[in-house]
Amino acid sequence: MRLLERIFDLAIIGGGVNGCGIARDAVGRGNTVFLCEMNDLASGTSSWSTKLVHGGLRYLEYYEFRLVREALIEREILWGVAPHIIRPLRFVLPHHAGLRPAWLLRLGLFLYDHIGGRHLLPATRSVDLTKDEVGRPLIPNRYSRAFEYSDCFVDDARLVVLNARDAADKGAEIRTRTRATEIRQSDGVWTVSMVDTITGARSTIRARALVNAGGPWVEDVLGRGAGVNAKAKVRLVQGSHIVVKKLYDHDRAYMFQNADGRIIFVIPYQDEFTLIGTTDRDYDGDPAKVKATAEEIQYLCTAASEYLAKPVKPEDVVWTYSGVRPLYDDGASEAKAATRDYVFELDTPGGGAPLLSIYGGKITTYRRLAEEALERLAPYLRSAKAREGWTGKWPLPGGDMDVSAVDALIADLQRGYSFLSVEHARRLARAYGTRAIKLLGEAKSAADLGQSFGATLTEREVRYLMNNEWAVTAEDIVWRRSKLGLRLSADQIAALDDWIASHAVPQSPLLEAGGRS
Residue 517: its pLDDT value, please?
32
pLDDT confidence band for 512 (50 / 70 / 90): very low
State in Å, rounded, how far the first CA of the chain is from the last one: 22
pLDDT confidence band for 508 (50 / 70 / 90): very low
Give 359-390 pLDDT, tens digit per residue.
998 999 999 999 999 999 999 998 766 566 89
Tell me the one-letter amino acid at 78. Answer: L
What's the rounded mean pLDDT across residues 255-278?
Answer: 95
What's the rounded mean pLDDT across residues 164-190?
Answer: 96
Average pLDDT, the chain: 92
Residue 334: its pLDDT value, please?
78
Residue 36: its pLDDT value, please?
98
What's the rounded mean pLDDT across residues 188-203?
Answer: 96
State what percent of residues in the chain have pLDDT above 70: 95
CA distances from 249 to 49, 246, 314, 425, 476 (A): 24, 8, 21, 21, 30
DSSP string, 316-358: GEEEEEEEEEEEE----SSGGGS--SEEEEEE-GGG-S-EEEE
Residue 225: its pLDDT value, please?
78
CA distances from 426 to 270, 413, 460, 471 (A): 11, 9, 17, 22
Helix (H) or strand (E) holding 145: strand 145-154
Give 324-350 pLDDT, tens digit per residue.
999 888 777 777 777 777 899 999 887
Residue 386: its pLDDT value, please?
56
Which range among 95-109, 230-244, 317-331, 464-478 has the greatest average pLDDT?
A: 464-478
Q: How many Å apart are CA 432 and CA 437, to the nearest integer?
A: 9
pLDDT confidence band for 4 (50 / 70 / 90): low
User: Does residue 189 contact residue 208 with C-beta atoms inside 8 Å?
Assistant: yes
Residue 233: its pLDDT value, please?
84
User: Does residue 250 contact residue 129 with C-beta atoms inside 8 Å?
Assistant: no
Q: What is the dihedral of CA 59, 137, 49, 258, to 10 degrees?
A: 40
3-class secondary structure, 511: coil
Q: How many Å apart are CA 45 and CA 326, to the nearest integer?
A: 8
Residue 193 above 80 pLDDT? Answer: yes
What's the rounded mean pLDDT across residues 117-135?
Answer: 94
What's the rounded mean pLDDT across residues 109-124?
Answer: 90
Residue 515: its pLDDT value, please?
37
Instruction: Indicate the DSSP class of residue 138.
Output: B
Q: How many Å apart are CA 478 and CA 488, to the nearest integer?
A: 8
Residue 467 above 80 pLDDT? Answer: yes
* Exposure of 282 in the CB half-sphere (CA atoms within 13 A): 12
User: Does residue 331 contact residue 291 with C-beta atoms inside 8 Å?
Assistant: no
Tell me the one-letter amino acid at 154. Answer: V
Rounded (5°) CA angle 455-458-460: 155
Give 201-241 pLDDT, tens digit per residue.
999 999 999 999 999 999 999 888 777 777 778 899 999 99
List of residues 6+ apart from 492 with CB closer than 8 A: 453, 454, 455
User: Does residue 276 contact residue 247 with C-beta atoms inside 8 Å?
Assistant: no
User: Does residue 51 contact residue 154 with C-beta atoms inside 8 Å?
Assistant: yes
Residue 505: its pLDDT value, please?
58
Give 44-68 pLDDT, tens digit per residue.
999 999 999 999 888 888 778 888 9
List of residues 6+ apart from 57 with CB closer than 8 A: 68, 93, 108, 109, 112, 149, 255
